[in-house]
Chain A
Amino acid sequence: MSAFQGLVKKDFVISKSWFLFWLVFISLFLIVALALDHYILEPLTFLPVAVLLLLFFHAFFLPSMLLSMLRLEGKTQLWLYNPQSSKELLLSKVYVSLVYQVATQLYLTAVGLTIYQFFKSQILIEASDLVAGTIIFNLGLLLFGLYVSCWAMFYWTVYHSLGKFPTIKGWRWLLLLLIFFLYNVIFTLLTRIPGFKEVMNKWTIPVFAGPNFSHKQGSWEIYLNATNIPVLGLLFYVILAVCLFLISCWLLDRKVEV
């Protein structure tokens, strides 16, 4: 077993109970929605909404799992007492959280497709739109989850790095808010630079990702609208996420004391 495999195995063991809890929770949520549909004799009222709601929650599932693991590691010195690079320590957690997220997204997608199979006649959507929409929506959720996770790692490492300065130890969360505020101010100022938006939106990829839902007489009508994704904008977020990850690694190796 390689060192990274050892880390991954350990991260699965320490987090599997949270994942099982989440699986039970979403299953119960779906059962309640199904029971309500059954009660009001409207089979497509609560259940599809429950599936979509749960899928949207998944935008924050990956960072939440990651932060839960980091919180557990912050309680002892065991995690940092390790010769592996901080990239490996953090990537193992990202990998495990990503596996959980893929598994639950697949589960919810399967539930959604099963609903579609049962009530095809009441859900008006082109088959190609259904496939494209499902893939793009799931991929988008995963990418968004990864992006937010990089911010979560960054904030966690900054928070713990500041712990060794007793004068600001009690006010660390304020500094995190300040970083969040400064980032947003800088980003807003950037977008106000003449021509910035034009450059960012110069190259775009059309993606059918903007769903329109309408509920008419017990049936759902779903259309996918083309949305233009700016390539440079996407690249900006990828670079930002990588930078946040690398800063987190540096802080973990040199500054974090738990």
Chain B
Amino acid sequence: MTIKLSNVSKRYGKDFSLKNVSLTLDTGKIYGLLGPNGSGKSTTLKMIAGLVYPDLGQVEVNGEEVTRRISQKVAYLTELDMFYPSFTVGNMVEFYASQFIDFDRKKAKQLLQDMKLDPVKKIKQLSKGNRGRLKLVLALARTAPVLLLDEPFSGLDPMVRDSIVKSMLSYINFDEQTVIIATHEIDEIEPLLDEAIVIFNGKIIDQKNVEDLREEAALSVLEWFKSTMAERERNNHE
């Protein structure tokens, strides 16, 4: 399922969150959307999820203009809490199962076990780490063709991060799902990525195939990201 952003701009106040961004993302690939805070990563994902709309340009998923109802095809994990505090873990899973036809209850049950989450526990009683795990359960239990993960490691300790990466490896359908991971934690996701995209000040400044980077430039994604950002800084000063 192809995702296409054509000349997309979005402003919050005087600042551009995205400025004339054009991007095409293909089926069966895992993309890392990398950039510093406020670079436009979250806005890009929210636009693909139909939660914010471009001021200019167009966002399409498989040729269909994105509106709120694209959530049928797009599984989205936000860095913010997206729960009803009075719900239990089980309530939340049941609610998702009732709303998304592609939600796989068996997969959710297995994920809950893997993540050691108790279905009867109230969400407001969960630690930050466990809330992060629950968000991942809800996103990975869907078989949606597009999976968006916004800062999946935000505020989580290394043990939780490790379990999240393992879950991704086990539960992502690498052939059929298009996955976009927006993060600062490049080291953790590097083994998963097919493509890396750098976004800075609302603009896509570079995109590379991770295998090419390793084989041709002998660079890790983190090294390449740092050199790209340094070059950008130099250009800004000149």
* Docked complex: A204-238 residues within 8 A CB-CB of B: none
A253, B69: Cβ atoms closer than 8 Å: yes
B114 at interface, CB cutoff 8 A: no
B12 touches A81 (CB 8 A): no
Known: A13-B86, A166-B11, A253-B67. A83 touches B91 (CB 8 A): no
B26 within 8 A of A: no
Q: Does A94 contact B (CB under 8 A)?
A: no
Q: Mark A1-36, 1 if CB is under 8 A from B, else 0.
A: 111011101100110010000000000000000000
A83 to B146, CA, bound (A): 14
Bound together, the chains give a CA A253 to CA B71 distance in angstroms of 12
- Whether A78 sits at the interface, judged by CB under 8 Å, is yes
Q: Are B82 and A81 in contact (CB under 8 A)?
A: yes
Cα of A9 to Cα of B49 in the assembled complex, Å: 25
Please indicate the chain B residues that have their CB under 8 angstroms from the CB of A5 in the complex. Answer: 98
A1 vs B98: C-alpha distance in the bound complex, in angstroms?
A: 6
Interface on chain B toward A: helix, strand, loop, or mixed SS?
loop
**In the complex, what's the smallest C-beta–C-beta distance from B126 to chain A, in angstroms?**
15
Cβ-based interface call for A80 (8 A): yes
Q: How many residues of B contact A (CB 8 A)?
A: 31
Q: Which single member of A7, A84, A254 contacts B67 (CB below 8 Å)?
A: A254
Which residues of chain A from 74 to 108 have a CB within 8 Å of any chain B CB? 76-78, 80-86
A257 within 8 A of B: yes
**Complex Cα distance A29/B95, Å?**
36
Residue interface mask B45-77, A partner, CB < 8 A = 1: 010011111000000000000011101100010
Among A9, A84, A166, contact of B13 (Cβ-Cβ < 8 Å): A166
Q: Which residue of B lies closest to A83 (CB)?
A: B72
Chain A residues with CB under 8 Å of B71's CB are 81-83
B98, A76: Cβ atoms under 8 Å?
no
CB distance from A28 to the nearest CB of B (A): 24
Tally of contact residues, A, Cβ under 8 A: 28
* Partner among B83, B87, B99 whose Cβ is within 8 Å of the Cβ of A6: B99
Tally of A-B Cβ pairs under 8 angstroms: 75
Q: How far is the CB of A156 from chain B (nearest CB, A)?
A: 16
A255 within 8 A of B: yes
Fill in one digit per residue for A162-203: 1 if any B CB lies within 8 Å of its CB, else 0.
Answer: 001010000000000000000000000000000000000000
Select which of B80, B95, B98, B99 is within 8 A of A77 by beta carbon: B80
CB contacts (< 8 Å) of B44 on chain A: these are none
Is A51 located at the chain interface by the 8 A CB criterion? no
Chain B residue numbers with a CB within 8 Å of A257 are 51-53
The listed residue with most A CB atoms (<10 A of its CB), out of B68, B83, B91, B100, is B68
B78 within 8 A of A: yes
Complex CA–CA separation, A7 to B94 (angstroms): 11
On whether the beta carbons of A77 and B51 are closer than 8 Å, the reply is yes
Interface status of A252 (Cβ within 8 A of chain B): yes
Q: Is B223 an interface residue (CB 8 A)?
A: no
Task: Please tell me if the beta carbons of A253 and B68 are within 8 angstroms of each other in the complex.
Answer: yes
Do A166 and B86 have beta carbons less than 8 Å apart?
no
Residue in chain B with minimal CB distance to A72: B84
Complex contact A78–B84 (CB within 8 A):
yes
Q: Which of A6, A83, A84, A255 lies in contact with B94, CB distance below 8 A?
A: A6
CB of B81 within 8 A of chain A?
A: yes
Which of A2, A17, A77 has the largest number of chain B CB atoms within 10 A? A77
Within the complex, which residue of A10, A17, A81 is in contact with B76, where a contact is CB–CB below 8 Å?
Answer: A81
Q: Which residues of A contact B82 (CB under 8 A)?
A: 76-78, 81
Q: A77-B80, A80-B51, A81-B71 are in contact. List 19 more A-B contacts (CB 8 A).
A: A2-B98, A6-B95, A10-B87, A13-B87, A76-B80, A77-B78, A80-B68, A81-B76, A82-B68, A82-B99, A83-B72, A83-B100, A86-B68, A164-B53, A166-B12, A166-B13, A252-B68, A253-B68, A254-B53
Residues of B at the A interface (CB closer than 8 Å) are: 11-14, 46, 49-53, 67-69, 71-72, 76, 78, 80-84, 86-87, 91, 94-95, 97-100
- Which 7 residue pairs of A and B lie closest in terms of their CB atoms, listed nearest first? A6-B98, A83-B72, A78-B82, A166-B13, A1-B98, A83-B71, A257-B52
CB<8 Å pairs between A and B, sample of 25 = A1-B94, A1-B97, A3-B98, A6-B97, A9-B95, A10-B87, A13-B84, A14-B86, A17-B86, A76-B81, A77-B46, A77-B78, A78-B82, A81-B76, A81-B82, A82-B71, A83-B99, A83-B100, A86-B68, A164-B53, A166-B11, A166-B13, A253-B69, A255-B53, A257-B51
